[in-house]
Amino acid sequence: MNPPLTFGTTRTWDAHPALDWAEANPAAGQYNFAPLNSYIAVNMSRGAQIIYTFGRTPRWASTAPDAAGPYGPGQCAPPAISAWDQYVTAIVTNAAGRIKYWELWNEPEQAASYCGDLATMVTMAQHAYRIIKSIDPSAIVLSPSSAGKAGAKWLDSFVKASGLHTFDIVAFHGYEGVHAERITATVDAYRLVLSRHNLSAMSLWDTEGSWGENSIGDDAHRAAFLSKFFFLQWSKSVDRVVWYAYDGDPKWGRLIDATNNLSPAGVAYRETYKWIIGATLTQPCAQDHNGTWTCSLTRPGGNQAQVVWNSNATGSLSISSPAQMTEFRDLSGGVHPIVGGAVQVQNLPILLETGPGPH
């Protein structure tokens, strides 16, 4: 499917067909990288960078081939280390120079994704890091990506258990329910772990996130969540955020309809992309005593802007607009003049600006 959106990063997890380990390596020494190579070619033509995520142990390689899990028997269990080494070697050799980012495992704190022990995960990470760097020294290795605020505890345990020197970037998954503002506490939890291990300078990426498996309300709530989710993580210095997933189930962040047209949340993604790309965050997003959030930006050419919203607004909430702001944009792409020095603030973020803004 050709997505009707602009994006800079794509991730292989749950992409189809046949990209995960269990599919790409159905038997010892047998590899089917044709679907992966097609995926790489398509996304390179779009200018998108690729994250390959390890996970889903083939049953033949599994140390517990009958272990039950949602993906299939044995797939949550750790592999035999020799099989792991062979697969990492084969796939990195195949994709070196085309895939730059390698994520060591998907949600290892969740038994559905990983039902082995921590020590084995550390050993797998140590082996993978060494193999990846030996084949492609320019490759970047991401930590196993634990999910939500609780996942920070898993990361802390992983680092303490000799996982420290197995990654170049810390990855996490930003799932905290239907209130986008909760992502700030999640990021803080991971930052605390990094600080504890003298890793504060290390880049932090949210490699999978959305409102998750939750009933979030109507289209407007989905659109508002998405925009706030990206702005708040930008404000918290998360260097990359990967949405899950534009063509997924509606409860997992779907941004298109059955005919591949953008939903209101998809339109909000498009507009939020325009608001962020090329801009500089001059003041982090902050909440006032009435619950109104403000994020201050500058855009190319010196254009000043503010993103504002109030998630608790149930009626008409008016705030004073800075004198230099002349218009505002909404998440449907509409442009409106600011009249009388005030704007109505609601759950849906709006962009106040001094002049013509992103197009």
Within the chain, all domains assigned CATH 2.60.40 are found at: 283-353
Residue 90 clears pLDDT 60, i.e. is over it: yes
Say whether pLDDT at 345 is over 80: yes
The domain made up of 9-279 is a member of CATH 3.40.50.740: no
What pTM did the predictor assign? 0.96
The reported pLDDT for the residue numbered 215 is 77
Cβ 266 vs Cβ 256: under 8 Å: yes
* Residue labelled with tokens 């067909």: 17
Instruction: Identify the weakest region by mean pLDDT among 112-116, 219-223, 314-318.
Output: 314-318
217-240 pLDDT tens trace: 899 999 999 999 999 999 999 999
CA distances from 325 to 197, 293, 329, 356 (A): 44, 17, 11, 11
Residue 92 has pLDDT above 90, yes or no: yes
pLDDT mean over 12-17: 93
Q: What is the pLDDT of residue 253?
A: 94
| pLDDT band (50, 70, 90) for residue 2 | confident
- What whole-number distance in Å separates Cα of residue 61 and Cα of residue 81? 9
Sign of the C-alpha dihedral, residues 68, 70, 72, 74? negative
Query: In the predicted model, what is the mean pLDDT of residues 310-339?
Result: 92
Which pLDDT does position 73 carry in this prediction? 98
pLDDT in tens, 20-42: 999 999 999 999 999 999 999 99
Q: What is the pLDDT of residue 357?
A: 59
Res 1: pLDDT? 63
- In angstroms, rounded to a whole number, what is the distance separating the alpha carbons of residues 330 and 268? 9
Of 194-198, 311-315, 325-329, which range is least confident? 311-315
Mean pLDDT of 270-291: 96
In which residue ranges of the chain is CATH 3.20.20.80 found? 9-279
pLDDT tens digits, one per residue of 115-125: 999 999 999 99
Mean pLDDT calculated for residue range 271-288: 96
Residue 359 in this model has a pLDDT that exceeds 60: no
Average pLDDT score over the chain: 95
pLDDT beyond 80 at 245: yes
Cα separation, 39 vs 85, in Å, equals 23
pLDDT of residue 317: 87
Rounded mean pLDDT, 150-170: 98
DSSP assignment string, 324-346? T--EEE-TTS-EEE-BTTEEEE-
pLDDT value of position 286: 98
pLDDT reported for residue 107: 98
- For 179-183, 192-196, 213-217, 292-296, which range has the lowest pLDDT when averaged over its residues? 213-217
Top-level class of domain 283-353: mainly beta
Range of lowest pLDDT (52-56, 117-121, 189-193, 259-263): 259-263
